[in-house]
Amino acid sequence: MFTGIVTDVGTVSGMVAEGDTRITIQLGNDTIRPEIGGSIACAGVCLTVVATVPGQFTVQASAETLGCTTLGGWRVGTRVNLERSLRVGDELGGHLVFGHVDGLAEVVSVVPDGDSSRWTFEAPAHLMAMLAPKGSVALDGVSLTVNEVYDRRFGINVIPHTRACTTFADVAPGVSVNLEIDMLARYVARQLGRA
């Protein structure tokens, strides 16, 4: 379990396709300290650490994960938002994020708004009923507040700090990001028969 507060931006330094794909990520700083068997959110995808050396770690991704997330498009040099899993007593700074990606959202537009920027995304139709204004969403593992929802699109604001400290600095219209719906919205939709 995570909070959507990115604590490091790593860089893919190796990818090896075996039965599953082994992905090695170089840490940007020393705040994560992954442990073998531990969970780490990589661009919002919960993965298990299978190897570590100082300054980097390796995870495995199944064909299912590669096919349903942005991981299938990663290459050496891809920058990745990272968050280590919560420990009992940690601050819940964002919202509860599970690392279970629901689908991909494509960036439609980015418009300046004061010092911040307003982003519009298009998401799969079946997920739109689970997005609500002032609700939470995780995009590439970043906890954000939904501004508006209409048709197959929703909007968020990104403040300068978030853009500078995450991979939002690399994202532009036409790029897809991992989308995780808020868990509460997912269960409410299920109970109402909409999921």
Answer yes or no: are the C-beta atoms of 23 and 82 closer than 8 Å.
no
Topology alike, domains 8-84 and 103-191 = yes
State the Cα angle at 145 between 139 and 146, rounded to 5°. Answer: 90
Each residue's pLDDT tens digit, 15-74: 999 889 999 999 998 777 889 999 999 999 999 999 999 999 999 999 999 999 999 999
The model's pTM is: 0.93
Give the pLDDT band (50/70/90) at residue 97. confident
Q: Could you give phi then psi for residue 18, rounded to 5 degrees? A: -120, -135
Give the pLDDT score at 183: 76
Q: Where are the domains of the chain?
A: 8-84, 103-191
φ/ψ of 165, rounded to 5, equals -105, 10
59 contact partners, CB below 8 Å, separation of at least 6: 22, 23, 25, 40, 42, 47, 48, 49, 50
Residue of higher predicted confidence among 175 and 192: 175
Secondary structure (DSSP) of 170-189: G--TT-EEEEEE-HHHHHHH
The rounded percent of the chain whose pLDDT value lies above 70 is 97
* Whole-number pLDDT of residue 194: 62
* Per-residue model confidence as pLDDT tens digits over 159-179: 999 999 999 999 999 999 999
Specify the CATH number for 103-191; select among 3.40.630.10, 3.40.50.1360, 2.40.30.20, 3.30.300.30: 2.40.30.20
| CATH 3.30.360.10 is right for the domain spanning 8-84 | no
Task: Output the six-digit token pair for 27.
Answer: 């840490």
